[in-house]
Amino acid sequence: MKTYKIVILGPPGSGKGTQAKMIAEKYGIEHISTGDIFRAKRGDGTELGNKIKELIDNGNFVPDDITIKIIEEKLGSIEGGYMLDGFPRTIPQAEALKGFADINMVIYIDVKDEVLVSRLSSRLMCKCGESYNKITKKPKKDNFCDKCNQELYQREDETPEVVQERLKIYKEKTEPLLDFYKDILVRVDGDQPINKVFEDIKKVLS
Ligand code: AMP
């Protein structure tokens, strides 16, 4: 069987985190989310944690050198396949990744701007890592996680102002990756129900 070394790309709110988890589970590969890694560090009380908190709460990126080091170390400890979610996000990160990983596919989840803004402002998170959406992926019990029953919360970087800033930075810094990866890039329509997007991704991977 092929070892999947996949990057999933898409604007904030495209649903890439949800799809990344589903793919990782189905194909038995590791899900590596830089967003999750940074959210875990942001509250740890260290100097680095405080710096990360300030950056992500304002919708800014964590510097390339810090991000690259974390991912390089993480990939060094993985034997099989993996799914990179949220990395790379800039051309320098993609250049660095080429030096320490052989990515064999890039999945791009394509969603229009208008849809992104409304999705992001209705997203709900759980401390256990699950995410929900008041419109597209409601929890069974209002405001509580289906998996662990903890109370859900809204991310601090999902206020309307910060969402606009994140989309602007995505266009400037991350969108150029679509061209960078054009030879191994597969586009999937992300403006569909979650399971339909997943079906399309499975077709691409089989
Ligand atoms: P996400 O959960 O993927 O939307 O990531 C949340 C936030 O973490 C982003 O808005 C950035 O502030 C930061 N972040 C995640 N991945 C990266 C990356 N590859 N480079 C720089 N900052 C990142």
β-strand 123-125 against 131-133: which pairing, if any?
Answer: antiparallel
Chain CA centroid to CA 192, Å: 18
Distance from C-alpha of 63 to C-alpha of 61, rounded to nearest angstrom: 6
Q: Is the pLDDT of residue 19 over 70?
A: yes
Question: Which atom of ligand 1 lies nearest, measured to the CA of 157?
Answer: 10
pLDDT at 121: 87
Q: Using CA atoms, how far apart are residues 145 and 100, in angstroms rounded to an integer? A: 37
1 Cα: distance to centroid of ligand 1 (angstroms): 31
Cβ(134)–Cβ(173) below 8 Å: no
Residue 1 predicted with pLDDT over 70: no
Return the best residue to mutate from 34, 70, 177 for the ligand 1 pocket (most ligand atoms within 8 A of CB): 34
Cβ-defined contacts of 49-56 (< 8 Å, 24+): 56/157
Query: Could you tell me the distance, in angstroms and rounded to a whole number, from the CA of residue 86 to the centre of ligand 1?
Result: 6
Cα separation, 47 vs 176, whole angstroms? 31
β-pairing, 105-110 vs 30-33, is unpaired
The whole-number pLDDT of residue 29 equals: 96
Residue 95 has a pLDDT of: 98
Residues with CB under 6 A from ligand 1: 12, 34-35, 38, 55-56, 59-62, 67, 86-87, 89, 93, 157, 166
Domain range list for the chain: 5-205
Q: Check whether 161 has a pLDDT greater than 90.
A: no
Q: Which residues contact 91 (CB under 8 A, 6 or more apart)?
A: 173, 176, 177, 180
* Mutation pick for ligand 1 pocket among 89, 90, 164 (CB with most ligand atoms within 8 Å): 89
Q: How far apart are CA 95 and CA 179, in angstroms?
A: 13
Write out the catalytic residue numbers. Answer: 16, 89, 123, 155, 166
CATH topology of domain 5-205: Rossmann fold (3.40.50)
**Closest atom of ligand 1 relative to the 71 alpha carbon:** 19
- The three-class DSSP label of residue 88 is coil
Query: Does residue 100 have a pLDDT over 60?
Result: yes
How far apart are alpha carbons 143 and 132 in whole angstroms?
9
In the reported structure, the alpha carbon of residue 205 is separated from the centroid of ligand 1 by a whole-number distance in angstroms of: 25
Whole-number Å distance between alpha carbons of 62 and 56: 7
Q: Which residues contact 138 (CB under 8 A, 6 or more apart)?
A: 132
| Residue found under tokens 């996000």 | 89
Quick one: tokens of 140? 């069974």
Q: What's the CA gap between 52 and 57, in Å, rounded?
A: 8
Mean pLDDT for the chain?
94
Ligand 1 atom index nearest CA of 85: 3
Q: Which amino acid is at 190?
A: G
Asked if the model's pLDDT at residue 2 lies above 60, the reply is yes
**Pocket-testing residue among 14, 36, 55, 62, ligand 1, by greatest number of atoms within 8 A of Cβ:** 62
